[in-house]
Amino acid sequence: MSPTPLPPPHEPDAPRDLVGIGIGPFNLSLAALAHPLPELDSVFYEQRPGFDWHPGLLIDGATLQVPFLADLVTLADPASPWSFLNYLKDRDRLFPFYFAERFHMQRAEYDAYCRWVAGRLPGLHFGHQVDAVRWNPERTLFEVDFTQLDSEGEAEALGRTYTRNIVLGVGTAPHIPEPLKPLVDAPGVPVIHAADYLAHRERFLTAEHITVIGAGQSGAEVFLDLLRNRPAGREKIHWLARTEAFAPMEYSKLGLEHFTPDYTRYFHALTEPVRDRLVAAQWQLHKGIDADTIAAIHDELYRRTLHGGWPDAVLTPAVTVRTAGRVATTKVELHLEHGQQGARTRLTTDAVVLATGYRERPLGQILAGLDPYLRRDSAERPRIDDQFRLALDPSVPGRVYVQNAELHTHGVGAPDLGLAAWRSATILNSLTGKDPYPLPRRTAFTTFGLEPQSQVPPARHTVQTLTPLVDGR
């Protein structure tokens, strides 16, 4: 791949067309698709020193739950130089990938691909912590204050950028249930979130007894990795789940159509109470366990029975951790309740992995300066339109877009990598007032309502386009 041409120099006080906050896969997708648009002057800030994607869960052999076509760009622009296939070509790995016949890439490979893109795209600024966003009515621009960090993460310099538009891609944060928060904060017995698993893996492998809490994909992968690396007959692992079963993720062809633009548009048009009910009910669409992982766990457990006896592994669903505490300084005591039996018991363990999922990072702190202009729903969540824009007071002509903060308005596809390129293209079409990325008019065989919602919204040509602004710079 030829070197990326450098953008023209930017005047320090000249406003940008777009400032991206956060550089995870979703904003990296947006940056990649924005790169060939000459009329768009954009910059992206990220607090971390470089790109990394769930480094604690890049377990050997773990794969994405989406095909390799769900890279940063392909489903919006298959000819993009930032595609996964072009990454393989650049690395001289196209033929090995071809003969491997893998539809789902390994998680570590996806991380390496994203690092390849992040290392070549211009306009990405790592080590920049965004502190505040404000609307400046006199300049009719957003002000973005940031702190430049040194290699140790310490403040090095302060800065400010002016921009006409913003896109938030700050991602999610590990969720720790309330009963277990005191254990995580205290020293001694290792109690970690699965997001940090690989950093502590060796310590966990030497623990006398291990408990994994959580029955999603992360919990299954951690349990499988521990099981494979513990001695037969002396595994000493408990796997506890709050769900009624160790349930497979819905992966039927028609079930997957819930992750299409058609369903996203249908969901957005529903009433708020219906949307809230559906999000809670559709957990198995995105929080279950991949069927291959379930099969691998059963195969490993079965293999350990071949010479008689059963593995010392306890797998129990329908269990809630009521409270927890430390026993001396070397063990943890979990107080458990079985939801179906109504029975309670205690479990003493030497180490705990919390595969308890992630939650959207709260936007309140970073958007505090925009709070007077934000429009909210009945639950005080930001309203987000079908173009992924926050609903703002009409006195603010600038636009704030969000990525993976719209579960309550756009449904289960919000965190799905398979919709990254489509959402980025939607944002760029809205932002430019044009159609640099024509979107498919229909994406699902299912008609989700009595009135089809598959019509692609036209580009909003009523908004101010960027071309005259570029001419004026």
pLDDT of res. 110: 97
Q: Does 431 score more than 50 pLDDT? A: yes
- The stretch 326-337 carries a mean pLDDT of 89
175-249+287-357 and 18-171+361-471 share a CATH fold: yes
Q: Which residue has the higher pLDDT, 8 or 390?
A: 390
3-state secondary structure the chain: CCCCCCCCCCCCCCCECEEEECCCHHHHHHHHHHCCCCCCCEEEEECCCCCCCCHHHCCCCCECCCCCCCCCCCCCCCCCCCCHHHHHHHCCCHHHHHHHCCCCCEHHHHHHHHHHHHCCCCCEEECEEEEEEEEECCCCEEEEEEEEECCCCCEEEEEEEEECEEEECCCEEECCCHHHHHHHHCCCCCEEEHHHHHHHHHHHHCCCCEEEECCCHHHHHHHHHHHHCCCCCCCCEEEECCCCCCCECCCCCCHHHHHCHHHHHHHHCCCHHHHHHHHHHCHHHCCCECHHHHHHHHHHHHHCCCCCCCCCEEEECCEEEEEEEEECCCEEEEEEEECCCCCEEEEEECEEEECCCEEECCCCCCCHHHHHHECECCCCCECECCCCEECECCCCCCEEEECCCCHHHHCCCCCCHHHHHHHHHHHHHHHHCCCCCCCCCCCCCCCCCCCCCCCCCCCCCCCCCCHHHHHCC
* CATH of the domain spanning 175-249+287-357: 3.50.50.60
Span 18-171+361-471 CATH architecture:
3-Layer(bba) Sandwich (3.50)
What are the domain boundaries of the chain? 18-171+361-471, 175-249+287-357
Please indicate, yes or no, whether the overall pTM of this predicted structure exceeds 0.85.
yes
pLDDT of res. 469: 36
pLDDT digits (tens, 9 = 90+) for 78-125: 999 999 999 999 999 999 999 999 999 999 999 999 999 999 999 999
pLDDT digits (tens, 9 = 90+) for 24-74: 999 999 999 999 999 999 999 999 999 999 999 999 999 999 999 999 999
